[in-house]
A and B are shown apart, each in its own frame.
Chain A
Amino acid sequence: MLQFKLVLLGDSSVGKSSIVHRFVKDTFDELRESTIGAAFLSQSITIHPNDGNGAKDVVIKFEIWDTAGQERYKSLAPMYYRNANAALVVYDITQEDSLQKARNWVDELKNKVGDDDLVIYLLGNKVDLCQDMPGSETIPELNEGEDDEQKVRAISTEEAKQYAQEQGLLFREVSAKTGDGIKEIFQEIGEKLYDSKKDEILSKQNRQINGGNNGQVDIHLQRPSTNDPTSCCS
């Protein structure tokens, strides 16, 4: 089993907690309270790497920091992303300035986390609010009642996509409410992380196999970490 650390960042009320809950429990709560501080959750997925190494399934466990988007908790953020393997930077496609906040997060990540392997995923949430998307029919029943004002898309897919390409980010528009695209994100991140760490993992595995241990191996992929309970530096 592989373990990866993942952090969600973004402006408040863009739907970070909703995305995590859709992923971890496959539920959606219309009236979710704002996160205070940060919440720590975990969830495992299985990926099927197709890299000549025999199609052996790999279980990946994500340890997820769901942070509060509120400005006042910003000083705590480094603690959450410092050891992360992947960061989901979320914005709300109906909120113009949430993309700017997302850009700030991306900049901060690039400046503060000196790791090229850090996977940054830009996520536009709440596509369900804009049913006029090309390709999907407008189905009013989906939005029954509770959103009396149909929200207008404020950030075009192209704009965000272009930005993501410039910065070398993964990009997707999703809906935590309908679950559209949520599973895929984590699958994609899992595969990408597996790919980038593959050599490291395989060499470790080989060493252990040579050592005569052929069973399941737990490999924790962490950089030297202050999160390690046995070390007391901070």
Chain B
Amino acid sequence: MNLNENYLDADVPERKLKPSKSGNFEGIPIVAPTSEPTTSVNLDKTFFTKAPLAVSISDDRSMSRSTSINSLNTAYLSSRRSPLRAMKLQAKNDLMSTELTNSSGNISQLPSVQKKYADPYLDSENDIRSRLAESIYSMETSVRGSEIQRRPYVSNEIPNVFKFSKPNNVKVPNEQETYDKNFLIFTSAGKPIYCMHGKDEKIMSYTGLVNTVVSYFQVNGPSELKTISTFASDKRFTFLDKSPILLMAQSERGESSNELLNQLDFLYSYILSSLSERQLVRLFSKRENFDLRNYLETTDFENLDEICSLICDRMFPSLLLNSLQCLPFRHSSRLKLQSLILQQLEKRQDIPRGTLLYGLIIAPQNKLCCVLRPKGHTLHTTDLHLLFCLISHQFQNLDETQELWVPICFPKFNSSGFLYCYIKFLPNDSNSNEKSALVLISAQKDAFFSLKSFSDELIVKLESERILKKINASKGFKLSDIPAPMVHHFIYKSKQNVQYVMPHFEINSNIAMDSSQGLEYELKLKTYYQQLHGTVVRDNGNLLSRSILNFVKWSSQDNKDMAIDETRMQFSELDEYIIGNSSFEQESVNMLGMAWVTPKFELYLIGNNGVVDKKVLFKSARKVANWCQKNESRLFISEGAVF
């Protein structure tokens, strides 16, 4: 894909860029578009944070020097973002959201926290014991302002260095609230179809503007408009023109255009999966101003909501890495499972070829457990992600007494036709709510009963051979299973298999994963990974080179050394508190992450807070990589059951 970013920028006094009541667009200064991408004018420093570094492993010395530049900038980027639009209210939100463990969330105590210069913690910082502790444990984030309550956590809390206006799942009654990320979908004629946040009245005013911008570029430039970036506020507006549908992403989270385009393409793929391209074109060929919203159903909007929240708020590396998450499963059991399925297929010669195209067993949390596929054919990851989203969201309330017959268009397989999915949840004795699903995919709409009998016999087989029990018992792995110290979390992607694995999240056990704190953790982790990934890919999404080793450092200390110190003084006390070194005032942030790309695998790894030694982290990373390679047959599906 050829990306063409057109940067619009102007010298607008920063103070003007406050969020306004009438909508998010006010902050963008739109001037005459530069006909070619400019790299010389008005480039804000944050631009360079995206400048990735490709460093070979052997060149250790130069690596450390260059990466530190990179990391400085990254840290700068992440904490610099908010000042320009810092409303007091928003600032308070920031505080509350970053204050992970402070249950009271009492705003009134904010002023008392301002005593940063007389900080008892700073004095104790030289204490060897505390520094030692720091390298192993990270601090509870709520210690701010209170006595030094160093409750050593077992290294499982990482600080949040990213400024989000607020977690998106928190509903704020204030309608004027602006979002740091939004998705909008309209028809090319300007009718709204879907928006992630915001009401119709607000969106309506967008449509005209967006259409004007898009058609301006269609008329005037040979280049397709993809992204408008405002450096001043670090906002990005990315467009995907899939006439008759137009999609737009708005983000302040520092994602690359390509990443946003991928996200938009995923949303578009969902719409296709529900309608198919043929139907979409037909609907709009009759009337260009067709109102698609009336044609889509409640379920579609629910699913779009779900997908948007997956993209924006959840740890969902599948899309970023364009690969599937796989269920770790004993190799011999996986072979057994595959051979059982193939035997069953062999036995049912009466099912004509083409009736059963693909078979999948999907474990809870969208982990692929088994694939049955014809030789030479695989399903595209996007198609599978769509199917997984449907299963985990739409059908989660179903139980094993029901069987479903669902027409789905798999846009990357064939965007103009439907396939039919037989979906049945597999029985699970261990009364957990999480059930695996068996999916059989056919091209024939009346194949239900053939597939049903196939499935009935297969499930009996799986139960009698105790394979089902093993599937249900498979629990994935924990970080502690791997002898790799100082690692907080990692994602390992096997390139050949287009699959990735990651350990369970390990956060404070009294935080439920779907509580707001759990969600915040996911968002935080997601952002770390997103920035790590951003250092190894080009603007078009391709990897920089075949082998890359990048370290990225997020640090609160570095902030102080930066030149922004002066500008920072201009802000009010409250602002400064947020911007300065924000919530980690008492917690020194020294996060080190690394992205390691080889021809065989990609490893993204985040160290514990306080681990500053690249060698230590790299040693652990090697252990992680070795472990994953050693267990490759357990962690990944290599071929699947091929017929």
Q: Which residues of A come within 8 Å of B, CB atoms?
A: 12-13, 24-25, 29, 32-34, 36-42, 70, 72-73, 76, 79, 226-230, 232, 234
How many Å from the CB of B541 to the closest CB on chain A?
A: 32
> Could you count the A-B residue pairs with CB atoms below 8 Å apart for me: how many are there?
70
* Choice from A12, A24, A70, A232 contacting B352 with Cβ under 8 Å: A232
Could you tell me the distance between the alpha carbons of A29 and B397 in the complex, rounded to whole angstroms? 10
Contact A79 B407 (CB under 8 A): no
**Chain A residues whose CB sits within 8 angstroms of the CB of B404 once the complex forms:** 36-40
How many Å from the CB of B512 to the closest CB on chain A?
A: 21
**Chain B residues whose CB sits within 8 angstroms of the CB of A234 once the complex forms:** 444, 446
Interface flag for B44 (CB, 8 Å): no
Beyond A76-B445, A79-B446, A229-B449, whether A37 also contacts B295 by CB under 8 A is no
* Choice from A32, A37, A42, A229 contacting B406 with Cβ under 8 Å: A37
How many Å from the CB of A79 to the closest CB on chain B?
A: 5
Q: Which of the listed residues B275, B404, B405 has the most CB atoms from chain A within 10 Å of its own CB?
A: B405
Residue interface bits B285-327, CB-to-A below 8 A is 1, else 0: 0000000000101110010000000000000000000000000
Interface flag for B200 (CB, 8 Å): no
Q: 6 shortest A-B CB distances, which residue pairs?
A: A37-B406, A227-B449, A40-B403, A34-B299, A229-B453, A229-B450
How many Å from the CB of A43 to the closest CB on chain B?
A: 9
**Chain B residues whose CB sits within 8 angstroms of the CB of A79 once the complex forms:** 445-446, 448
Contact A40 B405 (CB under 8 A): yes
* Choice from A12, A40, A230 contacting B448 with Cβ under 8 Å: A40
Q: Which of the listed residues A25, A36, A42, A230 has the most CB atoms from chain B within 10 Å of its own CB?
A: A36
Q: Which residues of B come within 8 Å of A, CB atoms?
A: 275, 279, 295, 297-299, 302, 350-352, 390, 394, 397-398, 401-407, 420-421, 444-446, 448-450, 452-453
**Chain B residues whose CB sits within 8 angstroms of the CB of A229 once the complex forms:** 350-351, 449-450, 452-453
Could you tell me the distance between the alpha carbons of A36 and B421 in the complex, rounded to whole angstroms? 11
How many Å from the CB of B209 to the closest CB on chain A?
A: 32
Could you tell me the distance between the alpha carbons of A29 and B402 in the complex, rounded to whole angstroms? 15
**Chain A residues whose CB sits within 8 angstroms of the CB of B302 once the complex forms:** 33
Contact B402 A41 (CB under 8 A): yes
**Chain A residues whose CB sits within 8 angstroms of the CB of B448 once the complex forms:** 40, 79, 227
Beyond A29-B397, A36-B394, whether A73 also contacts B407 by CB under 8 A is yes
* Choice from A12, A25, A40, A230 contacting B452 with Cβ under 8 Å: A40
Contact B394 A230 (CB under 8 A): no
Find the B residue at minimum CB distance from A20.
B402
**Chain B residues whose CB sits within 8 angstroms of the CB of A72 once the complex forms:** 275, 279, 295, 297
Q: Which of the listed residues A24, A29, A37, A38 has the most CB atoms from chain B within 10 Å of its own CB?
A: A37
**Chain A residues whose CB sits within 8 angstroms of the CB of B279 once the complex forms:** 72
Question: At the interface, is chain A mostly helix, strand, loop or mixed?
Answer: loop
Q: Which of the listed residues B352, B401, B402, B450 has the most CB atoms from chain A within 10 Å of its own CB?
A: B402
16 additional contacts (CB under 8 A) given A36-B299, A39-B404, A41-B403: A29-B397, A33-B299, A34-B297, A34-B298, A34-B299, A36-B390, A39-B403, A40-B448, A42-B401, A70-B297, A70-B299, A72-B297, A228-B449, A229-B350, A234-B444, A234-B446
Could you tell me the distance between the alpha carbons of A76 and B350 in the complex, rounded to whole angstroms? 24
**Chain B residues whose CB sits within 8 angstroms of the CB of A37 once the complex forms:** 404-407, 420-421
Contact B446 A226 (CB under 8 A): yes
Q: Which of the listed residues B279, B401, B444 has the most CB atoms from chain A within 10 Å of its own CB?
A: B401
Could you tell me the distance between the alpha carbons of A234 and B445 in the complex, rounded to whole angstroms? 10
Find the B residue at minimum CB distance from A73.
B407
How many Å from the CB of A41 to the closest CB on chain B?
A: 5
Find the A residue at minimum CB distance from B302.
A33
Residue pairs across A and B with Cβ atoms less than 8 A apart, 28 shown, are A13-B298, A25-B401, A32-B397, A33-B299, A33-B397, A36-B390, A36-B404, A37-B407, A37-B420, A38-B404, A39-B402, A40-B404, A40-B448, A41-B403, A70-B297, A72-B275, A72-B279, A73-B407, A76-B445, A79-B445, A79-B448, A227-B446, A227-B449, A229-B449, A229-B450, A229-B453, A234-B444, A234-B446
Could you tell me the distance between the alpha carbons of A229 and B449 in the complex, rounded to whole angstroms? 6
Could you tell me the distance between the alpha carbons of A70 and B449 in the complex, rounded to whole angstroms? 23
Find the A residue at minimum CB distance from B407.
A37
How many Å from the CB of A58 to the closest CB on chain B?
A: 23
Could you tell me the distance between the alpha carbons of A226 and B448 in the complex, rounded to whole angstroms? 10
How many Å from the CB of A40 to the closest CB on chain B?
A: 4
**Chain B residues whose CB sits within 8 angstroms of the CB of A24 once the complex forms:** 401
Contact B401 A41 (CB under 8 A): yes
Could you tell me the distance between the alpha carbons of A71 and B351 in the complex, rounded to whole angstroms? 31
Find the A residue at minimum CB distance from B444.
A234
Could you tell me the distance between the alpha carbons of A226 and B420 in the complex, rounded to whole angstroms? 17
Q: Which of the listed residues A25, A70, A72 has the most CB atoms from chain B within 10 Å of its own CB?
A: A72
Find the B residue at minimum CB distance from A31.
B397
Contact B402 A40 (CB under 8 A): yes
How many Å from the CB of B379 to the closest CB on chain A?
A: 19
Could you tell me the distance between the alpha carbons of A118 and B315 in the complex, rounded to whole angstroms? 52
Could you tell me the distance between the alpha carbons of A33 and B393 in the complex, rounded to whole angstroms? 10
Contact B350 A230 (CB under 8 A): yes
How many Å from the CB of B407 to the closest CB on chain A?
A: 6
**Chain A residues whose CB sits within 8 angstroms of the CB of B405 once the complex forms:** 37-40
Could you tell me the distance between the alpha carbons of A230 and B454 in the complex, rounded to whole angstroms? 12
Contact A76 B453 (CB under 8 A): no
Could you tell me the distance between the alpha carbons of A32 and B299 in the complex, rounded to whole angstroms? 11
Could you tell me the distance between the alpha carbons of A37 and B350 in the complex, rounded to whole angstroms? 26
How many Å from the CB of A52 to the closest CB on chain B?
A: 37
**Chain A residues whose CB sits within 8 angstroms of the CB of B351 once the complex forms:** 229
How many Å from the CB of B283 to the closest CB on chain A?
A: 10
Could you tell me the distance between the alpha carbons of A220 and B21 in the complex, rounded to whole angstroms? 68
Q: Which of the listed residues A39, A70, A79, A232 has the most CB atoms from chain B within 10 Å of its own CB?
A: A39
Find the B residue at minimum CB distance from A64.
B402
Could you tell me the distance between the alpha carbons of A42 and B275 in the complex, rounded to whole angstroms? 30
Could you tell me the distance between the alpha carbons of A70 and B298 in the complex, rounded to whole angstroms? 10
Could you tell me the distance between the alpha carbons of A33 and B401 in the complex, rounded to whole angstroms? 17
Contact B406 A36 (CB under 8 A): yes
Q: Which of the listed residues B406, B420, B421 has the most CB atoms from chain A within 10 Å of its own CB?
A: B406
